[in-house]
Amino acid sequence: MITLENKVALVTGGTSGIGKATALALGTAGAKVVFSGRRDLEGEATAAMIRHAGAECLFVRSDVSSEEDIKALVQKTIETYGRLDCAFNNAGIDLPPKPLHEQLIEDFDKLMAINVRGLFLCMKHEIGQMLSQGSGVIVNNSSVGGLVSFPGVSIYSASKHTVMGLTRGAALDYAKQGIRINAINPGLIATEMTDDRLGSTANALASMVPMGRMGQAEEIAQAVVFLCSDAASYITGQPLVVDGGFTAS
């Protein structure tokens, strides 16, 4: 049985969707959970839900595009629970689908500041702490868009391919130092991101998935719990694709 008893886990963007489901799943598996987000109300509501499930947790308001915020988030985790065993770098945004020449420079910069620079900052400060402990696990939320691409999403897809590069390169940097670093690559998952962006086309897209449905945030959460656990002790530098068979064809 997979357990995260006595582990401390950190989740970014934990106030909704995949991050919220994963913060709950990590807590249910036995970890003490620190999770971040930019929205206080949603953060406190999520914290109440995780505590109701019997886990210890702490919400920290934090923006991944701010290095000061990320430093403070890792420090707060150590002050509160004494260590950092597992980090799920999940916070991310997408853009309305458009061909590349119609995309705005400001949108490119905003997305890269969160999906790439923000994730790099998280890894940098998490790894600093994990090196001092001699162990740790990082899971980066990429996407199937980090392995293949789709029309209209070139910038998002570029950011998620970069997440794969950061994952693989850093996995090699720290493989001998007790730190495992992997990516999770969700397919089409029913969250605010897909609801807002896809609206009524979500069902049409879901019918193109071999399993015939969108995935649920909880199905990603369970895969992250596995990667964080000792059951995945020989896995590093890898994508774990959870997409209902979408990229198999």
- Residues with a catalytic annotation lie at 156
Q: Is 129 in the site for ligand NAD (CB under 6 A)?
A: no
- The Cα–Cα gap between 103 and 95 comes to 9
Q: Is 154 in the site for ligand NAD (CB under 6 A)?
A: no
Is 179:127 a contact under the CB 8 Å cutoff?
yes
Q: Is 188 in the site for ligand NAD (CB under 6 A)?
A: yes
How many CA atoms does the CB half-sphere of 47 hold within 13 Å? 16
Is 191:219 a contact under the CB 8 Å cutoff?
no
* Number of residues binding to ligand NAD, judged by CB under 6 A: 29
Residue 58 C-beta: closest distance to ligand NAD, Å = 15
By residue count, the chain amounts to 249
Which position among 38, 61, 110, 161 is part of the footprint of ligand NAD (CB under 6 A)? Answer: 38
- Residue 52 CB neighbours (<10 A): 9
Instruction: Pick the piece of the chain touching ligand NAD (CB under 6 A) from 77-85, 92-100, 175-183, 205-213.
Output: 92-100
Which position among 58, 114, 170, 232 is part of the footprint of ligand NAD (CB under 6 A)? Answer: 114
Q: Is 198 in the site for ligand NAD (CB under 6 A)?
A: no
Residue 128 C-beta: closest distance to ligand NAD, Å = 19
User: Which residues 6+ apart lie within 8 Å of 130 measured at CB?
Assistant: 84, 136, 138, 174, 178, 179
Residue 114 C-beta: closest distance to ligand NAD, Å = 4
Q: Are strands 86-89 and 136-141 parallel, antiparallel or unpaired?
A: parallel
The residues in 44-63 that bind ligand NAD, with binding defined as CB under 6 A, are 63
Instruction: Pick the piece of the chain touching ligand NAD (CB under 6 A) from 8-16, 43-51, 124-132, 202-210.
Output: 8-16
**Counting beta carbons within 10 angstroms of the beta carbon of residue 98, is it exposed (0 to 12), middle (13 to 18) or buried (19 or more)?**
middle
Which position among 49, 72, 78, 93 is part of the footprint of ligand NAD (CB under 6 A)? Answer: 93
Q: Is 18 in the site for ligand NAD (CB under 6 A)?
A: yes
For the chain, percent helix, then strand, then coil, each to nearest 5? 50, 15, 30
Residues that bind ligand NAD in the complex, under the rule CB under 6 A: 12-13, 15-19, 36-38, 63-65, 90-94, 114, 118, 141, 143, 186, 188-189, 191-194
